[in-house]
Amino acid sequence: MTIIKAQITHQVSTDQSYLDHQGIKNQIAENQIADNQIIDNQITEVVNQISYKQEITDRITTHQKTINLKEPSVNSGRKITKHQEQSTSVKMQRTEKKDKFL
């Protein structure tokens, strides 16, 4: 009877150790799943930020192309450079001074 009682006690102890071990394994697995979910969320957030930045870059590029189409080209002769504008202004001032003396 003592042997049977010892065997039963040993079996219960072994079963409890197994259940404890399984519980630890389950907790580790749950923690890993939670960690993976956090990582997935962070990756999704970064991908969304990259997509948003790309969308803004595309809009800027499209807008810049639109502006370039609206402005006359430098080679067409219709666009006056800042230097030409300043030069013309200086010439006009000289002419005005000459007119005053005449």
pLDDT tens-digit map of 45-67: 999 999 999 999 999 998 888 87
pTM check: above 0.85: no
What pLDDT was estimated at residue 20? 85
What pLDDT was estimated at residue 77? 53
What pLDDT was estimated at residue 21? 86
Secondary structure letter of residue 74 according to DSSP:
G
Q: What is the Cα–Cα distance from 92 to 16, expressed in whole angstroms?
A: 103
Q: What is the Cα–Cα distance from 5 to 28, expressed in whole angstroms?
A: 34
Distance of CA 33 to the CA centre of its chain: 25
